[in-house]
Amino acid sequence: MASLDDLKKRISSVKSTQKITKAMKMVAAAKLRRAQESAEKGRPYSDKMNNIILNLSNGISDFDNAPKLLSGTGVDKTHLCVVMTSDRGLCGGFNTNIIKKAKLYFQKILDEGKTLKIITVGTKGYDQLKRVYGDYIIEKISFKESKNVNYFDADKVGKIVIEKFDKKEFDVCAIFYNQFKNVITQIPQEQQIIPLKTSENGQNSSEDNYEFEPEEDEILSNLLPKNISTQIFKAMLENSASEQGSRMSAMDNATRNAGEMVDKLTIEYNRSRQAAITKELIEIISGAESL
Amino acid sequence: MSEEYSVEIVNPEKSFLSKNDVTEVVVPAFEGEIGILKDHISIISFLKPGIIKIFSKSGDESFYVNDGIIEFKDNNLSILTSLILNLKDIDKEKISKIQKSAEEELNKSDINDQEKYLLDQKLEVLKSIN
């Protein structure tokens, strides 16, 4: 059994860990509120953008001449995966969940004999993927310096993706991120951004006759690259809210576990102290009796 | 009959401005300026760098935009843009910064005609407000 001194040291060490996790939890809670706010504020832009693109693509008559970003390259050989993770650790299963989701997808791609290329956003994702999929990673991006999520960072990622698409380096592009549902639940998401999936086709076929200036396809080819950046930006916002939420609940758990541990150790400490006292008493009594 | 309709300007970070008493909006569309009055036909267009002018009952306002898309439908005008500045509280330093980066961009050799056109436009507008 550990000596009294050791127990005392452990208790104080766990207590200071608890202090740290408690502070981290509170910081995460404050950041979460801000991240959530900006995620909500960012929603109108991406919603409107989606709407306009939907209206535009409904208006397009021949899909063969549609911009490649919308219709795809026609083949399905090379997949580019943009895996978005955090730059910091200690946020529970946040990064692991994205990686797990992404790895499933990677395995599927490789099993089908297709080529895989990976871009990692955030250092944690790179750290986790480099061991197994290191050869496939073609780019790693990190925004450690920028304090808040901003559109220009997203635009940077978007431009890289589009540049690679224009060079015909890949056919399909998917992004991986965590969608923020609430503080306890974040859902890892896989979203295909190239070619664009116009979801709910037909459902939204409102017969609006728009006037276009300039022509539809010209607008589309200008709009689609922007949409990529917008989607990435949205994913980044969701991700940052998720990260803070995940960290908050992870740190909350850690604080509680530390509290439990302190209780247990204190009981053990008191018991062994009591045992030592009893032992000493017995020694004295039996010593007195033998005289 | 009222001659007013509503306008909303959003940028990626937030909803920048929302008004529902505007009488006319002039936007720098790609092929020239468009003035939009009430009951305009539905239109989608994109913007070149320039000045958006909003005329409303509660006062007129002007904004500088870098790029953007507009959609007008059912007397709702949506303007999506990545960079917007109110001309009222614009700061000279920021303008010069944008101007400088545009000039640098223009000096690159690998830009196409359309990009060149947009950059030229941008510089012109920036010079006019500075």
> What's the CATH code of the domain at A207?
3.40.1380.10
- Whether residue A125 is found in the same domain as residue A192: yes
Are B12 and A154 inside 8 Å of each other by CB? yes
Are A52 and B44 inside 8 Å of each other by CB? yes
Which chain B positions have a beta carbon within 8 Å of A155's beta carbon? 82
From A73, A80, A225, select the one nearest A138 (Cα to Cα).
Answer: A80
- Whether residue A260 is found in the same domain as residue A186: no
- Whether residue A272 is found in the same domain as residue A141: no
Contact between A192 and A161 under an 8 Å Cβ cutoff? The reply is no
Q: Report the range of poorest mean pLDDT among A76-85, A153-162, B16-25, B87-96.
A: B87-96
- Tell me the two tokens of residue A279: 């032992």
- Whether residue A167 is found in the same domain as residue A226: yes
A91 is catalytic: yes
Is B45 touching A (CB cutoff 8 A)?
yes
pLDDT digits (tens, 9 = 90+) for A73-101: 778 889 999 999 998 888 888 999 999 99
> What's the CATH code of the domain at A272?
1.10.287.80
Query: Looking at the domain assignment, is residue A56 inside a domain?
Result: yes
Rounded to two decimals, the ipTM of the complex is 0.76
Q: What are chain B's domains? A: 5-86 (2.60.15.10), 92-129 (no CATH)
Cα A175 from chain centroid?
Answer: 11
Contact between A87 and A123 under an 8 Å Cβ cutoff? The reply is yes
What does the DSSP assignment read for A120-153?
A: EESHHHHHHHHHHHGGGEEEEE---S-SS--HHH
- pTM for the model stands at 0.83
Query: Looking at the domain assignment, is residue A29 inside a domain?
Result: no
Contact between A243 and A28 under an 8 Å Cβ cutoff? The reply is no
With CA atoms as reference, the chain A residue closest to B42 would be A210
Number of domains in chain A: 2
Are B82 and A208 inside 8 Å of each other by CB? no
Which chain A positions have a beta carbon within 8 Å of B14's beta carbon? 38, 41-42
- Whether residue A16 is found in the same domain as residue A124: no
pLDDT digits (tens, 9 = 90+) for A157-215: 998 998 998 888 888 999 999 988 888 889 998 988 888 776 544 444 455 677 777 77
In B30-90, which ranges are E strands? 32-36, 43-47, 50-56, 61-65, 68-73, 76-80, 84-86
Residue with tokens 């320039």: B50
- Whether residue A211 is found in the same domain as residue A258: no
Are B44 and A56 inside 8 Å of each other by CB? yes
From B65, B11, B69, B16, select the one nearest A155 (Cα to Cα).
Answer: B11
With CA atoms as reference, the chain B residue closest to A229 would be B12
- Whether residue A82 is found in the same domain as residue A222: yes
Rounded CA-CA distance A57/A51 in Å is: 10
Could you tell me the residue range of the domain that residue A79 belongs to? 36-250
Contact between A248 and A180 under an 8 Å Cβ cutoff? The reply is no
Three-state secondary-structure class, residue B81: coil
- At residue A61 the predicted structure's pLDDT band, cuts being 50, 70 and 90, is low
DSSP-derived letter for residue B79 is E
- Interfacial residues of A (vs B; Cβ cutoff 8 Å): 38, 41-42, 44-46, 48-49, 51-52, 55-56, 150-151, 154-155, 208-214, 219, 222-223, 226, 230, 233
